[in-house]
Amino acid sequence: MATASFIVEGMSCEGCVSAIRRALAAVDGVQSTEVNLASGEVKIEYDPQRAGTSSLQNAIRGAGYDVS
């Protein structure tokens, strides 16, 4: 397993947190997701053989958020 951490902009409520969790759960290889609404940080535990950081970022962007 590997862990990736991103700063996500545009989150303002628990609905945003849920949207990001759902988007990342749909990525093959994602094992767990922690979202900190206050700091904007998202930590993802994933299988690097099945998912890469670009697919994780694309899932977050696909949910409507900016990620760095």
pLDDT value of residue 38: 95
Q: Do 47 and 35 contact (CB within 8 A), yes or no?
A: no
pLDDT value of residue 13: 95
Domain boundaries, the chain: 2-67
pLDDT value of residue 11: 95
Choose which CATH entry (3.30.70.100, 3.40.50.720, 3.40.605.10, 2.30.30.90) describes domain 2-67.
3.30.70.100
pLDDT in tens, 11-68: 999 999 999 999 999 999 999 999 999 999 999 999 999 999 999 999 999 999 999 9
pLDDT value of residue 24: 98
Looking at residue 22, the DSSP 8-state letter turns out to be H
Dihedral, CA atoms, 43, 45, 50, 52, nearest 10 degrees? 30
Q: Do 50 and 28 contact (CB within 8 A), yes or no?
A: yes
